[in-house]
Amino acid sequence: MKPISVTVHGAIDYLAVVIFAGAPAAIGLSGWPAALSYALAGIHLLMTLLTDFPAGVIKVIPIVLHQWVERIVGPVLVILAFVLMTKETQIARAFFVAMGVIIFAVEWLTAYRSTTD
């Protein structure tokens, strides 16, 4: 049994939006890592608002598509952190690795087919 309900998953998604939007100021991201963080905040917000689950507002994106996007985005963030970020961007690298791992872990631990939500 997976411990995260789709309701809790939605709350975590909104928290991820706040983290992505706040990271440039909070941890000093600049340049393209800051732009990527802001873009991910916007994309994550849109996905969450448009997903057909309790946290969604418009509910046009099937939850299974939301799940697959997170299943892909998590590992891609980790890969990008190591491929594109240099030694000078250690903070950015650590941030994107952590967020990629968290996104993938939340996806993996969510009970998408729960009948209680």
Exposed, middle or buried by CB within 10 Å (0-12, 13-18, 19+), for 13?
buried
- 24, part of any domain: yes
Number of domains observed in the structure of the chain: 1
- 115, part of any domain: no
- 82, part of any domain: yes
Residue 71, domain extent: 6-109
Rounded to whole angstroms, how far apart are CA atoms 18 and 77?
17
- 101, part of any domain: yes
pLDDT of residue 115: 44
- 66, part of any domain: yes
The residue type at 47:
M
pLDDT of residue 45: 98
- 52, part of any domain: yes
- 11, part of any domain: yes
pLDDT of residue 88: 66
Question: Chunked in runs of 10, what are the mean pLDDT values of the chain (117 residues)?
Answer: 94 98 96 94 98 96 95 95 80 95 96 64
- 19, part of any domain: yes
